[in-house]
Structures are given as C-alpha cells and as structure tokens.
Amino acid sequence: MPKRFARKMRKTLFDKVWGAHVVKIIEGGTAVLYIDKHYIHEVTSPQAFAESEKRGLPILRPQQIVATADHNVPTQNQHLPIADPLSRKQVEALSENCQKHGITLYGLGHKYQGIVHVIGPELGLTLPGMTIVCGDSHTSTHGAFGAIAFGIGTSQVAMVMASQCLLQIKPKQMRIYVDGFLKKGVTPKDVILYIISKLGTDRGTGYFVEYAGPVFEQMSMEGRMTVCNMSIELGARGGIIAPDEITFRYVEGKNFAPKDADFEKAVTYWCGLKTDQDAHFDAEHRFDAVDIAPMITYGTNPGMGIKISEKIPTGESNDQGLLNKSLNYMGLKAGESLIGKPINHVFIGSCTNSRIEDLRLVAEVVKGRKKANQVRAMIVPGSQQVAQQAQKEGLDEILKIAGFELRQAGCSACIGMNEDKIPAGEYCVSTSNRNFEGRQGPGARTFLASPLVAAITAIEGKIVDIDKYLEETTILN
C-alpha cells in the first residue's frame, strides 16, 4: 500500500469500536449505530415505554436491557414502601414495564440494586469494545472500559428499545494526555476537576474524549470511571480509555463477564482496542500531573474550580456577569480564599465517587477520628454490593464511630429527588459531579471535591488546605 494512504488508515480506539457497530450509513453521513447494552432507570424510561406502546412497537432485544431503580429511591428503610407517592409510582411503573417486557430488573431490595453506572461495571455487564447507552448523561462512566458509552434522551430510549439502534453523527475526537505521577492527596476526581477547570464546560461539546498518558495508565478502574464519568461536565458525550491489564483483571470473574475460554478469546479481541500511533485527533490537550493539586469548585458549574489553596478568581471582564451571578448564589466573593470556610454538610456518594475504593479512602481518613459536631456527614454507597463489601471490610463500623451516616444505595443528595437534600443557603462539600443551582435541593450551595477532601472537611468542619494538612497529620502516611 502506498505510504500516503497508510497514514489515513490509522485508527483511534474510538474509531475501532465505532466502526464495529455501524449497521449502515445514511443521508448526510449519519450512521445507524448498533447498541450492545442498554441500561434503563425509573426516571427516563416510563415515557419511552409509553411511546413504544402507543406505536405498537415490541421491544426488539429485551435481553440486552438491564434496569435498576436509583434516582428516586430512599436511602434509608428501603424495605418499606416508598413514602413519596410520585416516586413510588415511578419506581412501580419501572417494575411493571420490566415485568411486562421480560427485562431484567435489579430493583429496590435486590442484592444487585444500585446506581446504574456503579452496577453495570461491578456486575461485568459493561465490557470493553461495547456500545452502551442509558437515558442518563453520566453513562460516559462506562467508557473507562474502552467502550463507547453515552447518555441519550427518552425518545432515543424508545428507539433503542424498538430497534437496538440509534442514528448518530460520528462525533469529533479529542485526546487529553496527562503525563507524570500524581502527588500524594491528588485523586482521580482532582484530575478531572482540574481538566474541566482548565478547558471549561463546553470545550468538549461535539467531541468524544480519549484519556491517555501515564496518569490514566496507572489509575485503577474505579479511578478511570470517576474520570470518564465527568466527561459530560466537559461538554463531551463521552470519554474512553484503552483497555489494558488493569481492565482485564477488573473484569475477570465478574458475574456476567465471559468465563474461561470465552474470556481468553475476549481478551485477545480487547487487546486490539488501542489507538494506533499517529492516528488523527481533531483536538489534543496535554497536562502534567505535577500541576494538579486537590481541587474544589466555588461556583455553579463544574468548570468553576480551583486548587483548594487558591483564591476565587476575580474573572475576566467578559464573563463578569456569569461569575457574579454564581458567586451571589454561593454567597462568596471574588478574590476570597475558601480555606477556613465553615461547612455543615458533607455528601460522599453519586456515580462519580461511591465505589469501594472511595469508601476505603474515606474510612482510612476518618479512622479513629470524629466528624466535627455541626457537620452532617452522609455517605451513600453506590450499590448494595458496595455496601456489603464495606461491611465485610469493617468500614461501616469505622464510619459509624466517626459519626458518619452510612445510608443505603441510590443517587441520593447528588440530585435530591428523594428526601436527601441540602437545606437552602447551606454549604455542602460533595463528591458528586454537578454544582448547579439547586442541584442538591432548592437553594443548596455545592462545593465539588474528592472523597479525601470531603472526609477531611467532615472532620474539621471547615475547608482546609489539604497539602498542608497531609504534611501536619498522619493521614495517608
């Protein structure tokens, strides 16, 4: 083959997975994209079931759909009927719909129930090389496995139900490369908050992002999930990381993952899912791990983040209006430092940071310590399985002794659709992914941060300079 053509054929990881799922190309270059796995939950599926029924369309591949109840569920007394009648009705509608159509449901009370983006990976339902969708923007999480995973609207949920396909224009591709080694106290959450603070919340719009470089290569699967999870906060539809030994080791032995010879065959296939050298990206960004420190947000979008020791920026003249509006909502001033800010609420949970490694980190920090008196510290495991594992390791006792409320699995105060809300005007250091106005309850003020920052905040009752704190205490030593 002539050389100039050879270069053109170089493919990205995304190209390879995408290419393997295109049924055909139609008018204007739009692809009919085949979907391997479809996750559904109670909030964005009822209207899709209704639409299918209205049009008399059967569910094409019910065995490729997995459902769970997470957004609306209480995180206490889950054995009792849901108190809020609207929430109850929605959760019941999901059960009815799943039963009617032969869809597997890990509903309330099931040992696999949990946040959809936590259970998919931990059950081995999410696998490298797949296409995965869900009526939820944080479906990007599953990209950590080298899958193309993205959030869709309810109309599209109905499309996948009826045809197992979607019409998609191939997105542009961006690579974000982070070199070096992370410093002590710097977690995957800080990496992604740092990237978003540098690039902004709309830089990724129209793109799929591949995260590459030593920092991601060394990261655990759970860390990679945290990073890919917040791709949407960068504006991107999804993030993707090449599967490697760490991925295969994580997947091996999971309930629904391929077994024995099938697993070996799968690994051979997965090994080919890598971006070729010199493959083309429409945009590339490079960062260095030495520049990344423990992060926190100060505003009302996830891009408004700073290193915890920095001061709130005073802003450039063209975005003064937005900054003022945000700071006004947050009750903060430009140029102010957040160090020493008293905090009454800490929320550790959500599909970003509610996995066992997050709970282990928090337990390590709070072991033998107590939360500050005025703080309410909620910790909500991402799934029943995470909760069980925590119990097995004795983390539940450590957390309880430290004064943390260990609740049951669900989305909880990440979105405040159940009772878990932050009161108006109060501050919450949260490990979730969105700090929008009212996200954690009307008037609630959210600081996004890592589980480490959240745990230390709970103990101190205020925001502290993490680097200094780690030097002065024995935490993480």
Partner 1 sequence: MKRFTTLNSRSIPLPIENIDTDQIIPARFLKATIREGFGENLFRDWRFENDDHPKKDFVLNDPTYSGQILVAGRNFGCGSSREHAAWAILDYGFQAVVSSFFADIFKGNALNNGLLPVEISEYLLQKLFQTIKQDPRVLIQIDLEKQIIAIEGYQEKFDIHPYKKTCLINGYDDLDFLINLKDEIGRFEKDTSSFKPFTY
Binding to ligand SF4 (CB under 6 A) within 60-89 occurs at: 70-71
List the single partner that 372 binds among ligand SF4, partner 1, none, CB under 5 to 8 Å by kind: none
For position 407 contacting ligand SF4 by CB under 6 A, the verdict is no
Q: Is 64 in the site for partner 1 (CB under 8 A)?
A: yes
DSSP assignment of 216-282 = HHSS-HHHHHHHHHGGGGGT-SEEE----HHHHHHHTT-TTS--HHHHHHHHHHHHT-SPPTT---S
Among 2, 24, 317, 368, binds partner 1 (CB under 8 A): 24
State the Rg of the chain over Cα: 22
Q: Is residue 376 a contact partner of residue 345, using CB atoms and an 8 Å limit?
A: yes
| Residues 6 or more apart whose Cβ sits within 8 Å of residue 379 | 348, 349, 359, 362, 399, 404, 405, 406, 407
Q: Pick the stretch among 10-18, 31-39, 337-345, 391-399 that binds partner 1 (CB under 8 A).
A: 31-39
Binding of residue 115 to ligand SF4 (CB under 6 A): yes
138 near ligand SF4, rule: CB under 6 A: yes
- Using CB under 6 A as the binding rule, whether residue 12 contacts ligand SF4 is answered as no
> Concatenated DSSP letters for 224-240?
HHHHHHGGGGGT-SEEE
User: Which residues from 192-221 bind partner 1, rule CB under 8 A?
Assistant: 201-202, 205-206
SS3 37: strand
Task: Mark residues 299-318: x for contact with partner 1 by CB under 8 A, - for none.
Answer: --x-----------------
Structure tokens belonging to residue 467:
């680097």
Task: Say whether residue 414 binds ligand SF4 (CB under 6 A).
Answer: yes
Binding mask 83-112 for partner 1 (x = CB under 8 A): -x-xx-xx--x-------------------
Q: Does 240 bind partner 1 (CB under 8 A)?
A: no
**Interaction of residue 433 with ligand SF4, rule CB under 6 A:** yes
* Stretch of residues binding partner 1 (CB under 8 A), selected from 289-297, 330-338, 347-355, 438-446: 438-446
Longest dimension (CA), the chain: 72
Q: Which residue has the tokens 């992060």?
A: 295
Tokens of 7: 């270069």
Nearer to ligand SF4, 279 or 417 (CB): 417
- Inter-residue contact 96 to 1 (CB < 8 Å): no
Residues 129-168 that bind partner 1 (CB under 8 A): 129-130, 135-137, 151-156, 158-159, 162-167
Closest C-alpha to 338, from 402, 294, 292, 290: 294
Site string (244-273) toward partner 1, x via CB under 8 A: --------------x---xx-xx-xx----
Whether residue 201 contacts residue 302, with contact meaning beta carbons closer than 8 Å, is answered with: yes
12 or 353, CB closer to ligand SF4? Answer: 353
Q: Are 174 and 208 in contact (CB under 8 A)?
A: yes
Q: Is 142 near ligand SF4 (CB under 6 A)?
A: no
Q: Which stretch binds partner 1 (CB under 8 A): 103-111, 212-220, 366-374, 410-418?
A: 410-418
Residue 350 binding: pick among partner 1, ligand SF4, none (C-beta 5-8 Å cut-off by kind): ligand SF4
d(C-alpha 124, C-alpha 256), whole Å:
5
3-state SS assignment for residue 90? helix
For the record, the structure tokens of 238 come out as: 């999804």
Question: Which one of ligand SF4, partner 1, none is in contact with 309 (Cβ closer than 5 to 8 A by kind)?
Answer: none
Residues, the chain, total?
477
The reply to whether 376 sits near ligand SF4 by the rule CB under 6 A is no
Positions that interact with ligand SF4 (CB under 6 A): 70-71, 115, 117, 136, 138, 350-351, 411, 414-415, 432-433
